[in-house]
Amino acid sequence: MSHDHHHSHGTENVADGVILWTIIVNSGLSVFEFVAGALSGSVALMADALHNTNDAAALLIAYIAREISHKEADAAFTFGYRRAELIGAMIQLTALIMVGLYLVYEGVSRIFNPEPLLGIWIMFASVVALLVDVLTAWLLWSMSKGSLNVKAAFLHNLTDAGSSVAVLIGGAAVYWLDWAWVDPLISLGIAGYILWMSFGMLRRTARILMEGTPFDIRLEELRDSVITFDGVVDLHHLHVWEIDEHRRALEAHIVTSPAVDSSPTVRHELRQRIKEYLSEKYHIAHSTLEMETADNPCQNKEDVCWHGH
């Protein structure tokens, strides 16, 4: 699995004003598509308008969350405010799922209760929407590589671009072939893609917020590899989680042999070797290791840890 989320992509240096411009542009596009959808009677165009409205709101959330995430760590939030972006992504994705479910309902309704359509209006509006979607996606692309929050907004606009192409094709089918049934089917296709994309990103975002173990780390494997170090007898009370998209943390109790415990220097060197190994092998830069011996075990009886064997 790729570990690209552990490297800097320079996204912090990109002007956040870019997001403000995309909010303004997408808001204007939503109004335009709503009017065009009402005039043409196209549910697919209205679906695209609703999707764009959600994108404008999502971009606003992304901007606010990004501004909060830039704050330095303090006494109240000692790990900093980076998770604000994850909360922003969670809000965006939840709203997008609601939009997708609504579009499923609207598309099915139009299949059974078709309405007259104006294909030329559908095509014209979808071309305008496609141009705006491509421009917005291009503006957000460089920022999306280092942030789930901005990536959610970026993927929204990629979805919009695909939706606009689908609506354009549907408009052409209505105009030249009089296939009115194509329009609600396209809206269902847009809705299906929205739901598929959103649930995947929601799973990743929720796992970080719930302090779940990173997908590419197997705790048994990690534990067994640490136990191979000379002087290590056991490892327990193991926690591994992601502080945010870029930082991983670990805490564990390391049981050492009496020979290691009898020498503070040896104990310190062993701890440092393990920390370096965890950083290189598992990209865990922040690790807290408590050292103890088999004849003097910890008295911690908590049952919320993963204990291994």
- State the Cα–Cα distance between residues 186 and 162, nearest whole angstrom: 11
Average pLDDT of the residues in 214-237: 92
Tell me which of 166-170, 225-229, 246-250 is least confident. 166-170
Structure tokens at 178: 């009089």
Tokens of 281: 């092998």
CA distance linking residue 242 with residue 249, whole number of Å: 6
Q: Identify which has the larger pLDDT, 167 or 296.
A: 167
- Residues 84-111 as b/e (b if ≥16 CB within 10 A, e otherwise) read bbbbbbbbbbebbbebbeebbebbeebb
Dump pLDDT digits (tens) for 85-112: 788 778 878 888 887 888 788 788 878 8
**Token pair of 41 as six digits:** 């009677």
Report the amino acid identity of residue 149: N
- Burial class (CB within 10 angstroms; exposed 0-12, middle 13-18, buried 19+) of 227: middle
Res 111: pLDDT: 82
What's the CA dihedral at 132, 137, 138, 142 to 10 degrees? Answer: 160
**Taking residues 199-219, what's their average pLDDT?**
88
276: pLDDT strictly greater than 70: yes
- Residue 302: pLDDT above 70? no
Long-range (24+ apart) CB contacts under 8 A made by 197-201 are 197/155, 197/159, 198/93, 198/96, 198/97, 198/100, 199/97, 201/89, 201/93, 201/148, 201/151, 201/152, 201/155
Which tokens hold the place of 186?
A: 């396209």
Section 271-277 average pLDDT: 95
From 91-95, 216-220, 278-282, 304-308, the region with the lowest mean pLDDT: 304-308
Max mean pLDDT among 55-64, 70-79, 246-255, 298-307 falls in 246-255
Burial environment of residue 48 by CB neighbours within 10 A (0 to 12, 13 to 18, 19 or more): buried
Per-residue confidence at 23, pLDDT binned at 50, 70, 90? confident
Q: For the packed helices 119-144 and 148-172, what is the interaxial angle rounded to 10 degrees?
A: 160
Distances in Å between the Cα of 176 and the Cα atoms of 17, 117, 150 are: 42, 12, 39
Question: CA-CA distance, 216 to 301, in Å (whole number)?
Answer: 28
Kindly indicate the confidence band of residue 8, based on its pLDDT and cuts at 50, 70 and 90. very low
Q: Work out the widest C-alpha separation in the chain, in whole angstroms.
A: 86
Domains delineated in the chain: 4-209 (1.20.1510.10), 219-293 (3.30.70.1350)
CA distances to 131, 135, 162 from 140, rounded to whole Å, are 15, 9, 16
For residue 187, give Cα distances in angstroms to 30, 85, 104, 159, 246: 16, 30, 7, 12, 36
- Higher pLDDT, residue 294 or 120: 120
pLDDT given for residue 6 in this prediction: 37
pLDDT of residue 5: 39
**Distance of alpha carbon 268 from alpha carbon 203, whole angstroms:** 39
Least confident span in 4-18, 167-181, 198-212, 217-231: 4-18
Sign of CA pseudo-dihedral 165, 167, 170, 172: negative
Is the pLDDT confidence value at 288 over 90? yes
pTM, 2 dp = 0.66
